[in-house]
Structure 1
Amino acid sequence: MAKNTVVRFDEHGNIISSDVIGENDNIRFIKPAKEGSKKYKKNDDNICRMSDELGGFYFMLYFENKELFDGRINEKQISRLIYLATYLDYDSNRLVERRGRSNEPLYEKDIKEKLKLDKRVYKEFIEEVVSKNLLTFQDNGIYLSERFFCKGKCPKDGRKFSRVYISTVRQLYTQVNPKQHKTLSHLFKLLPFCDFEYNIITKHPNQEDSLKYRMTREQVAELLNVKWETYKTLEKNFEDLVITVHGEEYYVMCSVTIKCGGQKKSFYAINPLLFNSGNEIDKLKNVWTQMLKK
């Protein structure tokens, strides 16, 4: 099935959102790059291609060196919210699903079915995210908080953002059972600490020399607020998680080798095929190809 991509740009020509549409929809909005900006046009084209292959993306919003959702919800709910966000509509933050040639709103019966939680766990989830204003029910559908999710133009208010890819997030969520949602949440909690170039886990992801501040396994455990023995178990659980792209399986987190300061060094990274903030696809590809499951 051929896939097409809808791509939106801001007034500066930067990609602000992308989504895969139906096979009969021959729509592709591409704003030409300005003369003399071949490098940026190539990067944007690569991002378009990557997005097309990964089902589109939305933006996860967060503040520098802050927990996702400001630490306001139980950890196991994080992965459930991030999964629901793969159904975001453009600019409205309403949850929708492509049916035929149109996006139809999702209602409570729909998200119950998609989350695959039993009655008690679903009730706990809804009560918590509604009470924290992360999800709201309205007459015309269900909406996620604009403070943390965006599919369209992101606000310029000091928040950072990462692209979260739809098909790989859905793969992860559907391959685990509800008891493993906390494991996924631990993985997503590392998102604000991944650098822009390589998705390396670092103390200062927004600095140009972020690789100098790479985190050790012990520091990652401390960041996740788990004991060392618990973290070692968590690492084993991460190894069981895979995403499939073009028929090939990739690990979601592992150690990779990057040339830094003239030397090759090892870093812990999250697979950029899951989420990333970078624009230089060659650097990100260097990471995800090392995560190929052999």
Structure 2
Amino acid sequence: DVFRRSTKTTIKKKDIQRILNISKAAAYDFWQEVKDKYTIENNGDLRISERANIFRGELPKTQEPEVIHYQKLYINTIRKLYRATSIRKHKQLGYIFKLLPHLNLEYNILCTDPFEQEIDNIIPLTVGEICTLIGYDISQSTRLIKELQGLTFDYKNQKEYLISYVDSGTNSPRQKKIFLNPRIVYNGSDFRKVEVLGAFCKTAGGEDSRH
């Protein structure tokens, strides 16, 4: 599958810097990270690597579908989010992408078992545990929450947060549990299970209305 800018124009390696709007050095680092693992260069064109298990449209048929799990991403929304995110916030956006493997498929909360389907059995990750997963200083967990809340995107003319959170009433940053806006990422079988979460991801005039 070839990466394309249009039906007639393919994407070349040299296009990475311009498309991602990053420095030459950052483009080089990005290529070193994704080459062969996610994408390959073939006759000058960039293609999805067979090792990546990335598919567009319908998933390929398999003899053991129950043991293969895929992450569903809304490409247009992810692209819009990336373009709406300033270069200085790309690192924070990268934290979210690193955490996607821990996103519960049905309920969109970051947890210990992303494949757990019984809501009573879900064990949410605390912000403290999330800091450990992404290599963030746990003593700066309050700053991490603030940085992640700075990631927003437009949905139906309304600016929305990429993440929101709940806590146990202790108001301890390390104990907060995070969920992702299902309008960006959702892997489950019934969107109605998480539709209400969108109500907690809305901003109020660009300000954080949850405090």
Query: Where does the alignment leave 5 or more consecutive residues of structure 2 unmatched?
Result: 168-175, 205-211
Change (3 A) 1:180 1:267: closer
Change (3 A) 1:133 1:267: closer
Of 167, 186, 190, the residue aligned with 2:76 is: 167
**Identical aligned pairs, as a percentage?**
22
Residue in 2 that maps onto 1:120:
25
Distance 1:274 1:223 in 2: 22
Runs of 4+ in 1 over 6 A off after TM superposition: none
Higher relative contact order at CA 8 Å, sep ≥6: structure 1 or structure 2?
1
Change (3 A) 1:235 1:152: same
Please report the TM-score for the alignment, with normalisation by the length of structure 1: 0.58
Distance 1:203 1:103 in 2: 44
Of 123, 126, 133, the residue aligned with 2:37 is: 133
Secondary structure of residue in 1 paired with 2:71: strand
1:193 counterpart = 2:193: no
Query: Where does the alignment leave 5 or more consecutive residues of structure 1 unmatched?
Result: 1-91, 258-265
CA shift, 1:267, in A, is: 4.6
Distance 1:128 1:216 in 2: 28
Of 198, 207, 210, the residue aligned with 1:288 is: 198
CA shift, 1:197, in A, is: 2.3
Residue in 1 that maps onto 2:117:
208
Distance 1:231 1:95 in 2: 37
CA shift, 1:133, in A, is: 3.4
- Contact kept? 2:127, 2:177, Cα under 8 Å: no
Of 30, 43, 47, the residue aligned with 1:143 is: 47
1:278 counterpart = 2:182: no
Distance 1:204 1:126 in 2: 31
CA shift, 1:95, in A, is: 0.5
Distance 2:155 2:76 in 1: 9
Equivalent residue pairs, number:
190
Question: Aligned AA for 1:187?
Answer: I
Change (3 A) 1:210 1:144: farther
Please report the TM-score for the alignment, with normalisation by the length of structure 2: 0.78
